[in-house]
Amino acid sequence: MESDWNKAVVVDSRELQRLTSDNTELRKWNTRLRLGLGFFAGLSMATSTGLWWQSEHVTNVAREARDCHKNVARSSKVLSALSRSHEHILAATEQAPSVGTKSWGRRFTVTKYLPRSEAYGKDNDGLTATLIKADPNRRIVAVDPKLIPYGSQVWVEGLGWFDAQDCGGAIKGFRLDLLTATMEDAMAFGKQDRFVIVVPPTV
């Protein structure tokens, strides 16, 4: 078969070497570009992760700040209540210079009772346990005499001073019953928790 030399392509060896060199260089650049893209993709992922972590951290800090604000508000209310109690106690001690080392204080359950009631049965004589007239104007308080001696001065937070001159069947331990004039006042007062200072009688 006869060769068609007119269609033959003659390539200069130097040109072929240059093309080969260019191809090798292009392959190197392609590899570098792929590495660069991988690096930037990893950097973008790391940046996104960092931003997500920072966002979560900011969210947690904001939540902690809200919780801290709530705790501060609650603490402020407690401190305010303690401050008011402290002011009442200071006022009480100023009104009673005889408060000394035998005096003591703690929280009591406080109620109110009437000078005469059919519920007292045979004890419905209008007299206290110390046989004085049960007069609400005398600011009498019923106590447990095993805990608070008769004749003690008893200061009740927010209500002032009372004289321990009576007792009651249900008044045991850290219970107080304040003498009042009306059932309406006793019912309105109900049962309350108050700080109390007890000043025993001087011997």
Tens-digit pLDDT profile for residues 79-89: 555 555 556 65
Residue 190 has pLDDT above 70, yes or no: yes
CA 70 to chain centre: 7
Are 15 and 63 in a shared domain? Answer: yes
Residue 77 contacts residue 85 (beta carbons within 8 Å): no
CA distance 135 to 199: 21
Under the banding of pLDDT at 50, 70 and 90, the label for residue 71 is low
Mean pLDDT of the chain: 75
Query: Domain containing 41: what range?
Result: 11-95
Q: Determine the average pLDDT of the residues in 10-14.
A: 55
| 181, pLDDT greater than 70 | yes
3 state DSSP class of 137:
helix
Q: Return the percent helix, strand and coil in the chain, to nearest 5.
A: 50, 20, 30
CA 82 to chain centroid, in Å, comes to 14
Residue 174, pLDDT > 80, answer: yes
104 and 181 assigned to the same domain: yes
- Paired tokens of 201: 């009688």
Tens of pLDDT, residues 92-142? 555 554 555 588 999 999 999 988 655 554 555 678 889 999 899 999 999
Question: Same domain for 171 and 85?
Answer: no
Q: Examine residue 192 and state whether it is found in any structural domain, yes or no.
A: yes
Concatenating the DSSP letter of every residue in 32-91 gives HHHHHHHHHHHHHHHHHHHHHHHHHHHHHHHHHHHHHHHHHHHHHHHHHHHHHHHHHHHH
Decide if 138 is inside a domain. yes
Given this model, what pLDDT does residue 8 score? 44
CB 170 within 8 A of CB 176: no
Q: Looking at the domain assignment, is residue 154 inside a domain?
A: yes
Q: Is 153 helix (H, G, I), strand (E, B) or coil?
A: strand
Same domain flag for 105 and 116: yes
Q: Are residues 107 and 142 in the same domain?
A: yes
Taking the CA atoms of residue 159, residue 200, residue 123 and residue 138 in that order, the dihedral angle to the nearest 10 degrees is: -40
Which of 95, 112, 142 is at the close of a domain?
95
Domain count, the chain: 2
